[in-house]
Amino acid sequence: MSQRSDNAQGALLMVGSQVAFTVNDAFMKALSDEVPFFQAMFIRGVAVVAVMALLAAAMGQLRFRVAPEDRWRLLVRTAAEAAAAYFFISALFNMPIANAIAILQVLPLAVALAAWLVFGEPLGWRRLLAIAVGFVGVMLIVRPGFEGFTIWSLYALGAVLAVTVRDLATRAMTSSLPSLTVAFAGSLGVMVFAGFGAAATEWAPMTGHAAGQMAGAVVAIVLAYLLSVAVMRVGEIGFVAPFRYASLVAALFLGLAVFGEWPDGLTLIGSVIVVATGLYMLWRERVLATARRRV
């Protein structure tokens, strides 16, 4: 298969994974009308853990012995995964889906900045400027201290911070630890965390409608995980990565079609700024990678 065909397949897989993640988010948000937060989070967590365990075992990547140098990193990553799930689903339950996902689009910028600060990864002035502009875009979405600001925007930012910590911990791990073992540990951590919350929550009986929405969320997130694993194996990451922003397009469509929500002008402007700076970062990294290969 040619590189062009690989790239096209990788792009489709990336779009599919991001749309599936957003469909899962939409189902979870829809559940908020009938099912308590921790109950929904725990039930979905049980299903995801079961699927991740089967997937990791089938691919021979489920390991219970972890090298000593990776244990604390895996623990930090798992705790950050649980925190990210808590903050993001809380935001999702209480604010427009497109707004929450728009804030989440700043992740590539946040991870690049944190990697520069923590690991000393190279980051030139152009990318630093792009990151600064990207965070200005986030402030247009969040608007702290202005009309339209809600505490749930800070929860979405909390999810960004938690995922940044998660990704830094992942980068610090040795290559001997299989990716699916890491993902399984993260999903297990989310389930256990949600289980404690669910134990202290009065559960609501689930109607057939709510059960259908939960089933939809589980199917969507499992599909998203499978596609996100597949996308890392096809095409050039520099070509495929920009298609991750399909999640925001899907969120805008689902927000309007399902929830009757549409972001205001400032939120849309902020979203465009965040996506544009993220795309610039990806393009700049690709240019630098090409230059390094020529040296």
pLDDT of residue 95: 93
pLDDT at 275 over 80: yes
What's at 116, amino acid-wise? W
pLDDT of residue 232: 63
**Pick the residue with more confidence: 238 or 144?**
144
pLDDT at 5 over 60: yes
Q: With bands split at pLDDT 50, 70 and 90, how would you rate the model's confidence at 270? A: very high
Q: State mean pLDDT over 198-215.
A: 94
pLDDT of residue 4: 62
Q: State mean pLDDT over 205-212.
A: 93
Instruction: Quick: pLDDT tens for 89-102.
Output: 999 999 999 999 99
CA distances from 132 to 35, 136, 138, 139, 210 (A): 39, 6, 10, 11, 42
pLDDT of residue 272: 95
Cβ–Cβ under 8 Å, residues 128 and 277: no
pLDDT of residue 241: 78
Tokens of 258: 């399902």
pLDDT at 288 over 60: yes
Residue 112: alpha-carbon gap to chain centroid = 15
Q: With bands split at pLDDT 50, 70 and 90, how would you rate the model's confidence at 31? A: very high
pLDDT at 137 over 80: yes
pLDDT at 123 over 70: yes
pLDDT of residue 18: 92
pLDDT of residue 250: 95
Q: State mean pLDDT over 20-36.
A: 94
Q: With bands split at pLDDT 50, 70 and 90, how would you rate the model's confidence at 32? A: very high
For residues 109 and 115, what is the distance between their CA atoms, to the nearest angstrom? Answer: 10
- Exposure string over 105-144, b if 16+ CB within 10 A, otherwise e: bbbbbbbbbbbbeeeeeebeeebeebbeebbebbebbbbe
